[in-house]
Amino acid sequence: MHKPVMLSEVLEWLRPQPGMTIVDATVGAGGHAHAIAERLGDTGTLIALDRDESMLERAQARLEPLPCTKHFVHADYRDLPLVLDELGIQSVDGILIDMGVCTDQLDDPERGLAFRFDAPLDMRLDRSQSTTAYHLLQKIRQEQLVRILREYGEERWAVPIAKRIIQRRNQGRMNTTGDLVAAVMEAIPRRFHDRRIHPATRTFQAIRIAVNRELDGLQEALEALCHRLKVGGRICVLAYHSLEDRAVKHAFRNLSGRVPTPAGAGLSEAPSHPILRILTPKPLEPSEAETEANPRARSAKLRVAERVE
């Protein structure tokens, strides 16, 4: 069962109240959204987006008994401005984006997102898109794969892993998640296997990000979303690896008017008119108790900003 990450912190900083319009732009199984909708009462509005239609349907069923007005939209969170336009909503009181993959998706063998199952190489979050991990790995060049593993997975063994994946592909042995795990295990010498996390973790993360284009235009999209907040409205973003968190940090800094000085000595106030106030100069992290109860929350970082005049 999916456990919403840092739920109490999200509710504390997002501050949903009766009558507000709140967006859960990555609703998943609806854990955060349910708690938010309970606080909106019968006068509030919840707008729920997800690129995974099956997750959206599950969240809709879970939230159906709650009295607030609800809109469920099959869309990527980066398309939120278009969704709001179609709903005739100019601005909202709060936006939540949880960039993590839902536990229910990871636990579905057919998704091919987890290395503990031998399953089809799929990895799509939106099952309506055509490109799967299998398609990606069948046509990719070795140097492209090395770049993906380095940039998206921060994998130090990117070159030998990519080489082994291509070798297996050329032999017709790169068809399932088990084949991908085998390639990683063969590429990394056993004495360097990490005991804390599975050796294939970074490779699966990197390929999933590439398949779903999760980082494409991320910073620009976040900046566009912030412009749809009402004055006093807040945006909360949960990121799970450094590239996501960096994009969030830079988007918030740009819109707050805080930019690096030419000498690189910290931040200075830009002469432009800021539209955001950063409420978490350093990202919040889950408590030790939460990471013990839900190990998948261990890498979460929560950043919050507020719209100003």
Q: Does residue 232 sit in the same domain as residue 194?
A: no
Output the CA torsion sign for 94, 99, 103, 104. Answer: positive
pLDDT band at 236 (very low <50, low <70, confident <90, very high): very high
| Residue 284 included in any domain | yes
pLDDT for the residue numbered 136? 97
Average pLDDT taken over every residue of the chain: 92
Lowest mean pLDDT of 47-51, 78-82, 104-108, name the range.
104-108
Q: Does residue 269 sit in the same domain as residue 282?
A: yes
CA distance 65 to 95: 22
> Is residue 9 helix, strand or coil?
helix
Q: Does residue 43 sit in the same domain as residue 169?
A: no
| Residue 258 included in any domain | yes
Q: Does residue 220 sit in the same domain as residue 129?
A: no
Q: Which of residues 195, 212, 229 is at a domain's end? A: 212
Residue type, 250: H
Q: Which of residues 196, 212, 228 is at a domain's end? A: 212
- Total number of domains in the chain: 2
- Phi, psi dihedrals of residue 222, rounded to the nearest 5°: -65, -40
Burial grade of 102 (CB within 10 A; 0-12, 13-18, 19 or more)? buried
Q: Does residue 117 sit in the same domain as residue 72?
A: no
| Residue 302 included in any domain | yes
pLDDT for the residue numbered 259? 60
pLDDT for the residue numbered 270? 47
CA distance 272 to 290: 40
Output the six-digit token pair for 136. Answer: 């990606």
Cβ contact 39:68 at 8 Å: no
Tell me the pairing of strands 258-260 and 229-239. Answer: unpaired
pTM of the predicted structure, to 2 decimals = 0.89
CA distance 40 to 92: 13
Provide DSSP, 159-224: HHHHHHHHHHHHTT--SBHHHHHHHHHHHS-GGG--SSS-TTHHHHHHHHHHHHTTTTTHHHHHHH
Chain segment 160-180, per-residue pLDDT in tens: 999 999 999 999 999 999 999
Give rounded-to-5 percent helix, strand, coil for the chain: 45, 15, 35
Residue % of the chain over a pLDDT of 70: 94
**229, β-bridge pairs:** 92
Q: Does residue 199 sit in the same domain as residue 113?
A: yes
pLDDT for the residue numbered 176? 96
| Residue 95 included in any domain | yes
Q: Does residue 95 sit in the same domain as residue 114?
A: no
Cβ contact 35:13 at 8 Å: no
Output the six-digit token pair for 258. Answer: 């805080």
**Residue 267 pLDDT more than 50?**
no
Chain segment 40-56, per-residue pLDDT in tens: 999 999 999 999 999 99
Domain holding 254, by residue range, is 7-99+215-307
Chain segment 192-218, per-residue pLDDT in tens: 887 778 999 999 999 999 999 999 999
Q: Does residue 200 sit in the same domain as residue 116?
A: yes
Cβ contact 53:74 at 8 Å: yes
Q: What is the arithmetic mean of pLDDT over 98-125?
A: 85
Residue % of the chain over a pLDDT of 90: 82
Q: Does residue 158 sit in the same domain as residue 16?
A: no
pLDDT for the residue numbered 266? 46
Chain segment 269-309, per-residue pLDDT in tens: 444 689 999 999 999 999 999 999 988 889 999 999 999 98
Q: Which of residues 212, 230, 261 is at a domain's end? A: 212
| Residue 1 included in any domain | no
**Residue 253 pLDDT more than 80?**
yes
| Residue 25 included in any domain | yes
Q: Does residue 300 sit in the same domain as residue 208?
A: no
Q: How far from chain centre, in Å, is Cα 145? A: 21
